Structure 1
């Protein structure tokens, strides 16, 4: 039995629809496949090699045009996961399909957001009661979309849940891969820490919430141990017997504007609510368990 979830079979013909079949949503769908009848998901280009996933029916969902079947799919959906990022104008899903979702039988809606909405907390411990303090335009946009989905839930009576994710890693996307590809940097910024979360623990949390829906819920989905990034890089290099990149001072590091903005936010995020309310038992409570499992399974 997966940690944090009850053992169940298919949900009596319940159907799942996913907007945005990216890294996190794909893993969720893999874990959820046996629990639903029909699974449909959007991608930008269904014809792109590797876009498919098992028996999932793909639908195109691009900046300008959508698959004509999406509205009908939503009418035949019970569980909706929104993983597609917002555009500059807000949430594309609500903009295009608000009425279709409102008129559907959908009972559980999950919106994937980010702990970036808390901004810089100067290293303090925070939880879901901490007021958002976004410092980037990207995070301001996320807050607006969170509010829009929660308001939609109140208006329609549908159970909308927001999941604020920390730095996501897993098979094919982790510090070991960066080291092997020569793309890793050991950035040193004194006092800086980040939280992380293994993609499998995100899937576990979503499945637990589907079993225990709570309208208007907001959850931090993160590990137990916020850690300086260079410490994680050093641990990954040791596990995989890879050479360490040299230390680079943050002030002189060659970073993209987005990467530099991440280092401008320093916080320690608690995950108590997913443990106590959803009974989630993280399979990878720290980066050590997560990276060691990837190496052991040869999935790094």
Structure 2
């Protein structure tokens, strides 16, 4: 006799389930009934095979989101903003139907800081987004903070740098011989392995402090060109040619140039001390040294 109490696993709602989301599923499906929102019906079979319950809805179409309301009290928001505009309309549509007193982890980006001139800093540094892509992320963070305060919910924001994995290395770029910045103009860049990011997001569900920002970054202290050189050596490829910024900007796309215009080194003390994370790949070399 259950006295009217619900039996079974609690529900976890996942919005967006690309590479990192798929890596999260094995870490949470034993504890939760995982409901994954996808806008692509053709992905439903893949998601079911991975142990999730697919739900077709579209963050760009608010009318499709009504059934998400009060569906779960534990939420992971992995969906990126739309590709244009100064605000994240998708997160705004989501916030309009989120339940009260929920527990939400949002995957943001380290791009919200803009160029920091190679400075090393923690999560207390003010944001200064330098392009619409980063401003959309700042908007999403602000919208979710307002929702969390209003609804009494717990929100953790993970600011994420460049994600790498065995199948997420810049091999195509190296094979094409795309140039990198000269040493004098090079920028510091930050990294996290996709498996570590998945584990960090799960840990944040359990241990994050309310309305807390965490740098989901590893211990790598590298400039971008050195990263490309390390990957090239690992795979026996020629290192990229190095050019001064004035010449490079004529050969790469505006988006690529924007990544090469921001230099920062993010500290991860909160990740270790508050979330208790022990990285499987504490630096890029920890992966590269395992590869043939």
> Which TM-score tier does this pair reach, normalised by the shorter chain?
0.7 to 0.9
Contact 2:68–2:97 (CA<8 Å) still a contact in 1?
Answer: no
Contact preservation (8 Å) 1:60, 1:67: no
Following TM superposition, the consecutive aligned residue runs of length 4 or more in structure 1 with deviations greater than 6 angstroms are none
Give the corresponding residue for 2:98: 101
Matched, 1:167 2:135: no
Q: 1:208 to 1:185 in 2, by over 3 A?
A: same
Aligned position for 2:182: 188
Match of 2:70 in 1: 75
Tell me if structure 2 keeps the 8 A contact 1:166–1:221: yes
1:290 paired residue among 282, 287, 291: 287
For residues 238-288 of structure 1, what are the alpha-carbon distances to aligned partners after superposition, in whole Å with 9 as ceiling and x for unaligned? 222333343344322211111111111111110111101111111111110
Higher relative contact order, chain-length normalized (CA < 8 Å, sep 6+): 1
> Corresponding residue for 2:265?
268
Mark the CA change 1:98 to 1:131 in structure 2 (over 3 Å): closer, same or farther: closer
Residue 84 of structure 1 corresponds to which residue in structure 2?
79
The alpha carbon displacement at 1:237 in A equals: 2.1
2:23 corresponds to? 27
| Superposed CA RMSD | 2.6
Cα deviation for residue 227 of structure 1 reads 0.7
User: Kindly tell me: are residues 182 and 34 of structure 1, through their superposed partners in 2, closer, same or farther at Cα, counting changes over 3 Å?
Assistant: farther
SS at match of 2:55: strand
1:60 equivalent in structure 2: 56
Aligned with 1:40 (options 24, 31, 35): 35
Tell me by how many angstroms 1:183 deviates. 6.6
Distance across 1 between alignment mates of 2:26 and 2:106: 18
Q: Name the CA shift for 1:98/1:140 in 2 (closer, same or farther; >3 Å).
A: closer
Q: Distance in 1 between matches of 2:230 and 2:96?
A: 49
For 2:4, the equivalent position in structure 1 comes to none
Work out whether residues 125 and 269 of structure 1, in 8 Å CA contact, stay in contact via their aligned partners in 2.
yes
- Helix, strand or coil at the partner of 1:102: coil
State whether structure 2 residue 9 is matched by structure 1 residue 13: yes
Contact kept, 8 Å, 1:126 with 1:268, in 2: the verdict is yes
Distance in 2 of aligned mates of 1:143 and 1:136: 11
Contact 1:189–1:250 (CA<8 Å) still a contact in 2?
A: no
Q: What is the TM-score when the length of structure 2 is the normalising length?
A: 0.85
> Which secondary structure state, in structure 1, belongs to the residue aligned with residue 187 of structure 2?
coil
Shift of the 274–187 alpha-carbon distance from structure 1 to 2, 3 Å rule, reads same
Counting only pairs closer than 5 Å after superposition, residues 152-163 of structure 1 correspond to structure 2 as: 152-163=147-158
- Deviation of the 1:153 alpha carbon: 0.4
Q: How many residues align?
A: 280
- 126 and 213 in structure 1: CA distance in 2 versus 1, 3 angstrom threshold: closer
Structure 2 alignment gaps of length 5 or more: 1-7
Match of 1:115 among 104, 110, 113: 110
* Runs of at least 5 residues in structure 1 that lack an aligned partner in the other structure: 1-11
